[in-house]
Amino acid sequence: MIEHRLSSVRRVIAVSGGKGGTGKSLTAAVLSLILAERYKVGLLDLDISSPTVHLILGACCEKPIEDNGLIPPEICGVKVMSVAFFAGERAV
């Protein structure tokens, strides 16, 4: 099922770095919003220590829908998935 769902993903852009507080989440969020003006875009925040992409995009009250897998919330044309959705109040 996962392979089938990911078969339409053509490109992956990774924003990463070894140091915290350098603007990686903000860069990823802004880049995803710009790309969403012309393309289908998904943003996956895998920062387990301080996930903030959901806050930057205003998805703090959103949750993925569980229907035959997880369907991420869509914010401004960007499908957003974050570990924060599953960490509850322990995130950030």
The pLDDT tens digits for 6-51 are 888 999 999 999 888 899 999 999 999 999 999 999 999 999 888 9
Sketch the domain layout of the chain as residue ranges. 2-90
Q: Which CATH number among 3.30.70.1450, 3.40.50.300, 3.40.50.1100, 3.20.20.70 corresponds to the domain 2-90? A: 3.40.50.300
Q: What are the tokens at 41?
A: 């875009």
Whether the per-residue pLDDT at 86 is higher than 90: the answer is: no
Q: Is 40 helix (H, G, I), strand (E, B) or coil?
A: coil
pTM attached to this predicted model? 0.83
Between CA 41 and CA 70 the distance in angstroms is: 16
CA neighbor of 50 nearest in space, from 21, 74, 29, 12: 21
For 1-92, list the strands marked E by DSSP. 41-45, 65-66, 70-71, 74-75, 78-82
